């Protein structure tokens, strides 16, 4: 954590101290701020200050930009629209509050979170059907930063090829918005805002219903993106039914129907698909685009990302699958300890099947492993 300077009055982090990797010094992004779920146990005040940067630099229309820090908000305009990032804002703030018990912080976060929700409702639901699309610069907004079996379906393997993530009702973003609603509603209850709690609860139920009505495939018994145009699993003649790790996320956001969870457990524990040695891969091993090789930055067609595995772990825990959650944690721990013993490094992502990694190292978000220790092993 670095001291306040420039355009912020609060301490901030860089997500990697690699001295020759400038992108890692570009200030805070919401998915990297999930490291505050762990850091709060070391210094609650500092964790709160880090989140206050987003509040301090939030735009009047509610936008929280892609990056925030001493240089101010960075929104990378694309096709005339600002770029935000995956909305983990209110979840992070609630987890910090659970440790700090600082109601002034919670109140400020609640107000900012409601404003940000309003921005997403206006700017990331073009067809106004209650499901959400990524912005025009989706390749960074959706956190992938690289080629992905669905979003770059028509790019022939090129990271900068055609990106269709703003033409889909995106499962991941819609679930993330539902998750924000869930935690904003908890904040409203904690702060005594009964009217706000009721409004947020109603919105949450609506998004939950839309996810289960449109994004659950009763044939495959899995959750997928749908085409914005007609809410089907086809886009320009190509199937969107590609089993990605995000198919488990409705459990994390408390929106999965209970009768769906048993089927999701079967998908997860299938050794030919998601149940790999070193964690849950980002894409099913049965997919033609699956690769276990981590041969650079930003690989999403197989490699394990610990934060995303943590959400799968929490999702099954939400539905009472404690033993399975512990087994996911064990796989994550094996991935990390194997590399620490081998080269003393944490890594951006991990191979689900082998130990050879060529991605950036010493990433801040791997601190989520300390939260795994707190959540599951300290019992």
Closest of 249, 251, 226 to residue 239, by C-alpha: 226
Q: What is the pLDDT of residue 159?
A: 62
Geometric angle at alpha carbon 155, from 151 and 161, rounded to 5°: 90
Kindly tell me if the per-residue pLDDT of 379 is higher than 60: no
Please report the sign of the dihedral spanned by the C-alpha atoms of residue 170, residue 179, residue 259, residue 246. positive
Is the pLDDT assigned to residue 19 strictly greater than 70? no
Q: Quick one: average pLDDT of 61-90?
A: 97
More confidently predicted of 315 and 26: 315
What's the confidence (pLDDT) of residue 20? 64
Alpha carbon distances (Å) from 360 to 16, 23, 215, 324, 348 = 9, 11, 34, 30, 6
Taking residues 50-62, report their average pLDDT. 99
Digit-coded pLDDT (tens) for 294-339: 988 888 999 999 999 999 999 999 999 999 999 999 999 999 999 9
The residue among 346 and 20 whose pLDDT is bigger is 346
166-218 confidence digits (pLDDT tens): 999 999 999 999 999 999 999 999 999 999 999 999 999 999 999 999 999 99
Check whether 2 has a pLDDT greater than 70: yes
Q: What is the mean pLDDT of the chain?
A: 95
Note whether 132 and 173 are within 8 A (CB): yes
Residue 18 pLDDT exceeds 90: no
Is the pLDDT at 376 greater than 90, yes or no? Answer: no
- Calculate mean pLDDT across residues 11-17: 85
CA–CA distance, 69 with 73 (Å, rounded to integer): 7
Pairwise CA distance, residues 306 & 332, whole Å: 7
Tokens of 303: 């490699």
Domain boundaries, the chain: 261-379
Q: Which two tokens stand for residue 250?
A: 């409705």
Q: What is the pLDDT of residue 244?
A: 98
- In the predicted model, is pLDDT for residue 130 greater than 70? yes
Confidence of residue 148 (pLDDT cuts 50, 70, 90): confident
The pTM score is 0.96
pLDDT the model gives residue 214: 99
pLDDT 10s digits, 242-278: 999 999 999 999 999 999 999 999 999 999 999 999 9
Please say if the pLDDT value at position 360 is more than 90. Answer: no
Looking at residue 287, the DSSP 8-state letter turns out to be S
CA angle 200, 226, 308 (to 5 degrees): 65
């Amino acid at each position: 954590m670095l001291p306040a300077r420039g355009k912020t009055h609060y301490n901030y982090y860089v997500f990697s101290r690699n001295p020759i990797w400038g992108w890692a010094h570009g200030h805070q992004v919401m998915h990297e701020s999930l490291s505050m779920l762990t850091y709060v146990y070391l210094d609650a005040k500092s964790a709160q200050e880090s989140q206050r940067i987003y509040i301090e630099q939030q735009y009047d229309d509610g936008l929280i930009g892609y990056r925030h820090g001493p240089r101010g908000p960075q929104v990378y305009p694309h096709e005339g629209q600002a770029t935000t990032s995956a909305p983990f804002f209110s979840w992070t703030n609630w987890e910090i509050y659970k440790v700090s018990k600082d109601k002034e912080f919670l109140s400020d976060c609640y107000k900012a979170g409601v404003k940000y929700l309003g921005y997403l409702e206006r700017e990331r639901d073009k067809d106004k059907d209650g499901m959400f699309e990524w912005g025009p610069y989706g390749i960074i907004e959706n956190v992938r930063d690289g080629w992905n079996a669905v979003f770059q379906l028509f790019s022939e393997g090129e990271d900068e090829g055609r990106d269709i993530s703003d033409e889909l009702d995106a499962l991941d973003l819609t679930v993330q918005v539902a998750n924000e609603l869930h935690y904003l509603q908890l904040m409203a209850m904690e702060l005594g805002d009964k009217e706000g709690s009721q409004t947020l609860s109603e919105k949450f139920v609506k998004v939950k219903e839309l996810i289960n009505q449109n994004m659950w495939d009763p044939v495959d018994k899995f959750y997928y993106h749908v085409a914005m145009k007609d809410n089907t699993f086809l886009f320009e003649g190509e199937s969107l039914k590609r089993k990605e790790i995000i198919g488990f996320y409705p459990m994390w956001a408390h929106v999965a129907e209970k009768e769906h969870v048993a089927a999701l457990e079967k998908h997860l524990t299938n050794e030919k698909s998601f149940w790999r040695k070193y964690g849950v891969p980002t894409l099913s091993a049965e997919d033609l685009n699956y690769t276990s090789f981590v041969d650079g930055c930003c690989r999403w067609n197989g490699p394990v990302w610990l934060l995303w595995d943590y959400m799968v772990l929490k999702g099954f825990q939400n539905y009472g699958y404690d033993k399975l959650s512990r087994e996911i944690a064990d796989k994550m721990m094996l991935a990390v300890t194997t590399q620490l013993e081998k080269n003393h490094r944490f890594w951006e992502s991990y191979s689900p099947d082998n130990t050879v990694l060529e991605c950036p190292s010493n990433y801040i978000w791997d601190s989520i492993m300390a939260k795994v220790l707190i959540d599951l092993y300290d019992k």
